[in-house]
Amino acid sequence: MNEYDSERVAGLLREHRYELTDSEADADLILVNTCAIREKAEDKVFSKLGELGKLKSKRPNLTVGVMGCMAQLHKAEIQRRAPQVDLVFGSPAIARVADLVERARRERRPVLETGEGPLVKITAKPASAARLKAYVTVMEGCEKHCTFCVVPTTRGRERSHSIASIVDEISGLVADGCREVTLLGQTVNAYGRDLTPRTDLAALFEAVNGVDGLARIRFTTSNPYNLTPRLIAAVRDVPKVCEWFHLPLQSGSDRILGAMNRGYTRARYLELIDALRDAVPDISLSTDLIVGFPGETEDDFAATLEMVERVGYDNVFVFRYSPRPGTPAATMPDQVAAPVKAERNARLLEVTTRVGHARARRRLEETVEVLVDGAARKNAGELSGRTRCNRIVNFDGQGRAVVGDLVHVRVTEVLPHSLRGALVATPERAAWPVKAGRPVEAVCSSR
């Protein structure tokens, strides 16, 4: 979502005669887009602001701004700790960025804008924005109030964009060459509950699926509490929706889930996993896990390890618990010591890596659909892309495939973080069976 916001800000400023530059030394304006999910991210921001302060001492006319979640959370504290900052504004003010920058430059005094504003669909983007794949924000905010999370404070209440505005934005992206979109929301599967008439993410899938020229639809991040049978059916039935589902678990312990105020139990989560796999037997699953939440015992942590083994995730994002100001968890008793967090983090990563690799090995010798998105990172002579279930595949294009093509590749090798394969056919020659209006992909779908 921050990548999306940064692109929109650059696009809005472009409409006011600003151009992007790769050099901070050449810039008239530098905006730092921030995240407040973890303390480490905030530390990086203040470190960067220190660097920019030195630059500004040499170039007093440089305007420095801080935007995003950290701006919304800490407000005037940023200007107190980093007096070189001219402008602080939260996510609700993004649509007014050009006016705020002009005000800061004109008044020559710090500007703070962190009040709640109306939800605005911003489609402006810089000329350099990637076209093949794009993020599209469909809703903002969250009302779950997990005890560890600042998102309700930084992003506000849940607010959804209309289906018409989203489809219009995606149609414009496709006209510019986009083939894959990722629909974004802090709790994306709560989409549409606040609209009149009320709608849902499944209906949005169906509408976006009708955009000619679009090949794939992804979405993130979902909350188990809002996962409905209708949405699971849509993942199965809407042709362009990819067979990849990110469903944060956070902990395998019911006691810790209750302390987190997650709204579901371990048993309920497993029911949802079973329902997803019943609908799409070979679906790829990823999740988020927190280690060292206040009060987490060795038994609680063991329950998380067991859940990873039991579910069999393709990918896991592991985070050490980080106290966030103003959240209930920050003042809970029995805070877990940093060395314990580090040790559990390492053990969990070891298990998730092993399980993920075992899942990946099931793809050996299968033929997969790959959206080519560029050169391979370690070999510029090869091409790279992702399967529908979000695995990276590197292969020799043999001069027959280019960026943007949907090709079919046979997997010949499974590596720790990617697959290698051999091109089966050029896009024009590939002939694949179709069932229920969609191509069959052996890697991720049984349809």
CATH number at residue 419: 2.40.50.140
* 356 domain-assigned: yes
pLDDT of residue 435: 31
295: CATH? 3.80.30.20
With a cut of 50, which residues of the chain have pLDDT below it? 428-447
pLDDT of residue 427: 59
- Based on the number of CB atoms within 10 Å of its own CB, is 261 exposed (0-12), middle (13-18) or buried (19 or more)? middle
pLDDT of residue 363: 95
Whether 300 and 162 map to the same domain: the answer is yes
Give, as one character, the DSSP assignment of residue 195: S
pLDDT of residue 352: 98
pLDDT of residue 394: 98
Whether 261 and 395 map to the same domain: the answer is no
Whether 27 and 102 map to the same domain: the answer is yes
Alpha-carbon separation of residue 46 from 83, 84, 212, 243, 292 (angstroms): 11, 11, 45, 39, 25
- Cα separation of 220 and 209, whole Å? 17
The residue out of 315, 332, 361 marking a domain boundary is 361
Whether 67 and 205 map to the same domain: the answer is no
Whether 191 and 81 map to the same domain: the answer is no
pLDDT of residue 130: 66
Structural domain of residue 36, as residue ranges? 2-113
Backbone angles phi, psi at 396, to 5 degrees: -85, 115
Whether 322 and 209 map to the same domain: the answer is yes
Whether 107 and 143 map to the same domain: the answer is no
Whether 302 and 412 map to the same domain: the answer is no
Domain total in the chain: 3
pLDDT of residue 341: 98
Whether 141 and 90 map to the same domain: the answer is no
pLDDT of residue 129: 67
Whether 64 and 156 map to the same domain: the answer is no
* 212 domain-assigned: yes
Whether 53 and 173 map to the same domain: the answer is no
The residue out of 113, 144, 164 marking a domain boundary is 113
